[in-house]
Amino acid sequence: MTVTATAGGTPGNAPAPISMIERMTVILDAFDPQTPSLSLLDLAERTGLPRSTLHRILDQMIRLRWLTHSTGSYRLGLRTLELGGRAAGHSEIRDVVTPLLHELCRRTGLAGHLAVLDGREVVFLDKAGGRCAAQLPTGLGVRLPAHTTAVGKAILATLDPGLVDSAYRGPLPLSTPRTLRTAADLRHELARIRQRDGLALDNEETLSGIRCVAAPLRGGGPATAALSVCGNHQAVDFKELAPLVRDLAGEAQRALFSRLQQRRVG
């Protein structure tokens, strides 16, 4: 929602925000899908806060990851996206996706994962696939670097590129010789994923000998989660699995949206 400042410097007819929580809320509300990047002047006009006060609060919000700053503009930070994912309800996502994931694993004989983004890591919410899955060091609550995994890259590709650039700078931690090495490598990989309608590939980047294909669960904005199928690199054919994973993600997203709608109506 955009807050419009009056000539007197306060937004509309609303009283000027006094507490730090009120000021932070007004700042976060200044961003919207049409204007994801705002300058200091933009924020001053939209919030009605004095520039000196605003600059001090913005510095604190950047330090706490509510916002990110580059080349004279401010954007929403990773913390807002992390809270958005939690608000979607990890348990609810798992309840909806798990039956579909288990069915796909039964059909393909591969392992399946469901994960969400938390900072620069993915957290696994579920794992399926019997003997194949047992061979992988993943499971409920396990964390892995997002840039090495198919699920992580599938989610990162749905985020604003400026936000990803601010979170990833310089060399990246390596898990295998095939892991993406630099922020530029990641940027190019995410561009390719967007061209493939969100389908991501882990080509032995997390574990040698293991390949994964993933797709994000998303509505109109950033993905709340991603799911993948994984297996021995010789058994995972991207062209064969890509449509299956994409269709599963679409079905899961529709089922999740339907459940949320029913809950609102109820």
| In a domain? residue 6 | no
Domains: count for the chain: 2
CATH of the domain at 158: 3.30.450.40
For residues 69 and 153, state if they share a domain.
Answer: no
For residues 88 and 72, state if they share a domain.
Answer: no
For residues 212 and 143, state if they share a domain.
Answer: yes
Name the nearest CA neighbour of 83 among 116, 127, 108.
116
For residues 51 and 161, state if they share a domain.
Answer: no
Final residue of a structural domain among 57, 76, 95? 76
Name the nearest CA neighbour of 110 among 264, 251, 244, 260.
244
| In a domain? residue 32 | yes
For residues 52 and 93, state if they share a domain.
Answer: no
For residues 64 and 87, state if they share a domain.
Answer: no
Q: Which residues of 135-172 are buried (b: 16+ CB within 10 A; e: fewer)?
A: ebebeeeeebbbbbbbbbbbbbbbbbebbbbbbbeeeb
Are 73 and 41 spatial neighbours (Cβ–Cβ below 8 Å)?
Answer: no
| In a domain? residue 121 | yes
For residues 87 and 182, state if they share a domain.
Answer: yes
For residues 63 and 110, state if they share a domain.
Answer: no
For residues 38 and 104, state if they share a domain.
Answer: no
For residues 142 and 228, state if they share a domain.
Answer: yes
Whole domain around residue 24: which residue ranges?
20-76
For residues 250 and 142, state if they share a domain.
Answer: yes
| In a domain? residue 59 | yes
Q: Note the pLDDT tens digit of each residue in 64-113.
A: 888 888 777 888 776 765 555 454 557 778 888 889 998 889 888 899 99
Q: What is the pLDDT along the chain (266 residues), one digit of tens a residue?
A: 334 443 334 444 455 557 888 889 899 888 876 677 789 999 999 999 998 889 899 999 988 888 888 777 888 776 765 555 454 557 778 888 889 998 889 888 899 999 999 889 998 988 888 777 777 888 877 889 999 999 999 999 999 898 898 889 889 999 999 999 999 999 999 999 999 999 999 999 999 999 999 999 987 778 889 999 999 888 888 889 999 999 999 998 888 777 666 655 55
For residues 97 and 134, state if they share a domain.
Answer: yes
